[in-house]
């Protein structure tokens, strides 16, 4: 009798083990790839001349989303991506604090609360192995990883392993690295070392041969293409002469390709060059040569990143994991404009005091370990074709980003374009839905902050799936926007002036994909409706609803006053009303 009981128990255990293994085999691996400061039109599947054959292949197997919106700057977007909440709700409305004020529980605290589980925490609790490789930038700067000073480090936010960098950027040849809960000492690196290749090596190692009992979640956050723009010379040289035509011609060429491939409606209008950005024809011959080389370096940086993604995909295919791996690839905001009209040459975030002639004499140093450079701002204007402005701004040039979803086992109409409105808050709910789980309402007896996003998984198989939400609000550094249906309203704020004096612009995105025509004067009732909705949404998701940008950003951000004046004039609102 006891033998039969043992045999029965053994059979049951085996059956349960096989059932668990079967369920694990059914659940997909999940890889969330986040590029940094890559504009809407900077990838091949979105109309770029930059060679991205491996990302192109993901798009052919999967779907491109042409209405994916971010929070216009890295940390708020990443907070939304990983938690499914609006960044204001999780007190990360802007970049992390140096050291949070214990009394500050507002949207600008700069530290994620403990009752906002990340997607990594949810997936780990449901049986996933969880890995993070690359950029973090979701914790206060004072935290050093030691016990009591690591609450915002990745291992305390759901990751089994993390290898990458903690702050907002790093040198691609000499990165400041962390692993687990410790900072790694600086050490000599191989002559051909590059951070992008390093983190993909770690990803491949973590994924293994596909024979693990648990599926894997990987958050792969490249430093590319955030400055410093650095890439091997061979990749840079692929673009010799490509950008001699300049940024104005590049915008027109990308627009035409985007229309031809269906990323843009045929009636999309290219807005005029941004105020303050120089016409290419106004540059001197020396400036043209130097500035073209900046863009060659940027393009090489992206192509090199694509090659690393190609190595990862090749590994998935070789180990039989590709078909049941959900890959979501996106950028965290629009192309970056921080370097102004002349770019950064020697070091980031420092005034470029070199003359064009001096830069030309050192032009071969661009992209190497000798410089930490960033391209001039008008290249960012080209990067976000067909939109206005760039990273940090509330227009779609700052907010709209490319997104690709690949999951061969689930997606049957690969190569197509989806037009649903998707926000960064929708990504984490989609990932946990694909894994067959959900965000908890409570953890350890404490209520969780409600998730704002919704899963877009239905759109993977239904081209005409409805939008998951009728409205999405936006706020960053006092600037505001809201989309309700196909209408979008935008307000630029002049620091130090009353918020009720901000002038709003109104766009009908169904007829004007690029926000080229301000309809505020023609539809004042609709504008009033959207403004009221903004306050309602902000009141729900942010405390306070609006505030002046913190001083540390006010010192370095310069939103052109001419834009606010133009908004007032074109809206018929009059300045100061």
CA distance 541 to 526: 22
User: Are the CB atoms for 148 and 156 separated by under 8 Å?
Assistant: no
The candidate with the shortest Cα–Cα distance to 415, out of 30, 62, 55, is 62
- The single-letter DSSP state of residue 344 is B
Task: List Cα–Cα distances, 339 to 96, 234, 301, in angstroms.
Answer: 21, 25, 17
Looking from the CA of 125 toward its CB, the CA atoms found within 13 Å total 15
Q: Does residue 137 have an active-site annotation?
A: yes
Residues 6+ apart with CB under 8 A from 181: 145, 146, 147, 150, 153, 155
User: Quick check: helix, strand or coil at residue 358?
Assistant: helix
Contact 177, 164 (CB under 8 A): yes
What is the distance between the alpha carbons of residues 493 and 434, in angstroms, rounded to a whole number?
40
Please state whether beta strands 400-406 and 325-331 pair in parallel, antiparallel, or not at all (unpaired). Answer: antiparallel
Distance CA 546, CA 440 (A): 29
Helix, coil or strand: residue 426: helix
Distance between CA atoms of 82 and 101, rounded to whole angstroms? Answer: 24
Q: Which of 137, 194, 304, 315 is catalytic?
A: 137
User: DSSP label at 44?
Assistant: G
Q: How many whole angstroms separate alpha carbon 13 and alpha carbon 314?
A: 36
Does 74 qualify as catalytic in the annotation? yes
Beta strand 129-135 with 161-165 is parallel
Dihedral sign for Cα 264, 55, 242, 291, please.
Answer: positive
- Count of residues for the chain? 577
- Which residues are known catalytic residues? 74, 137
């Amino acid at each position: 009798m006891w033998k039969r009981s043992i045999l029965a128990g053994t059979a049951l255990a085996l059956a349960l083990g096989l059932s668990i293994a079967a369920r694990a085999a059914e659940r997909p691996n999940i890889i969330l790839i986040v590029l940094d400061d890559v504009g809407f039109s900077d990838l091949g599947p979105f109309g770029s001349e930059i060679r991205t054959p491996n990302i192109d292949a993901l798009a052919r197997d999967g779907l491109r989303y042409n209405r994916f919106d971010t929070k216009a700057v890295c940390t708020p977007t990443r907070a939304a991506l990983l938690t499914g909440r609006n960044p204001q709700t999780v007190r990360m409305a802007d970049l992390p604090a140096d050291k949070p004020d214990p009394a500050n529980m507002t949207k600008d605290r700069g530290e994620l609360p403990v009752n906002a589980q990340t997607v990594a925490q949810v997936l780990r609790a449901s049986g996933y192995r969880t890995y993070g490789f690359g950029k973090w930038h979701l914790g206060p700067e004072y935290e050093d990883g030691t016990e009591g000073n690591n609450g915002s480090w990745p291992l305390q936010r759901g990751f089994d392993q993390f290898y990458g960098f903690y702050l907002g950027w790093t040198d691609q040849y000499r990165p400041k690295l962390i692993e687990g809960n410790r900072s790694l000492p600086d050490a000599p690196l191989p002559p051909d070392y590059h951070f992008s290749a390093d983190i993909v090596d770690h990803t491949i190692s973590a994924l293994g041969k596909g024979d693990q009992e648990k599926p894997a979640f990987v958050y792969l956050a490249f430093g590319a293409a955030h400055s410093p723009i650095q890439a091997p010379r061979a990749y840079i040289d692929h673009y010799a002469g490509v950008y001699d035509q300049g940024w104005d011609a590049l915008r027109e060429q990308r627009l035409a390709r985007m229309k031809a491939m269906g990323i843009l409606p045929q009636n999309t209008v290219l807005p005029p060059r941004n105020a303050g950005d120089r016409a290419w024809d106004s540059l001197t011959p020396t400036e043209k040569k130097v500035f073209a080389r900046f863009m060659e370096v940027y393009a090489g940086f992206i192509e090199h990143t694509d090659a690393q993604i190609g190595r990862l995909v090749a590994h998935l295919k070789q180990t039989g994991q590709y078909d049941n791996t959900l890959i979501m690839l996106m950028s965290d905001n629009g192309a970056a404009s921080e370097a102004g009209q002349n770019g950064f040459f020697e070091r980031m975030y420092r005034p470029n005091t070199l003359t064009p002639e001096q830069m030309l004499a050192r032009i071969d140093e661009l992209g190497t370990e000798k410089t930490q450079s960033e391209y001039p701002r008008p290249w960012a204007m080209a990067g976000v074709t067909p939109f206005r402005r760039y990273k940090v701004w509330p227009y779609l040039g700052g907010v709209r980003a490319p997104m690709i979803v690949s999951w061969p086992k689930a997606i049957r109409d690969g190569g197509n374009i989806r037009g649903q409105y998707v926000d960064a808050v929708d990504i984490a709910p989609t990932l946990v839905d694909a894994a067959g789980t959900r965000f908890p309402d409570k953890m350890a007896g404490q209520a969780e902050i409600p998730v704002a996003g919704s899963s877009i998984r239905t759109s993977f198989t239904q081209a005409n799936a409805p939008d998951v939400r009728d409205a999405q609000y936006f706020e960053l550094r006092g600037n505001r926007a809201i989309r309700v249906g196909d209408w979008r309203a935008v307000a630029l704020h002049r620091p130090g002036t009353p918020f009720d004096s901000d002038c709003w612009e109104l766009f009908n995105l169904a007829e004007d994909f690029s926000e080229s025509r301000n309809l505020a004067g023609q539809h004042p009732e609709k504008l009033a409706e959207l403004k009221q909705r903004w306050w309602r949404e902000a009141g729900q998701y942010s405390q306070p609803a609006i505030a002046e940008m913190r001083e540390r950003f006010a010192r370095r951000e310069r939103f052109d006053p001419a834009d606010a004046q133009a908004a007032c004039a074109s809206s018929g609102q009059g300045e100061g009303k």
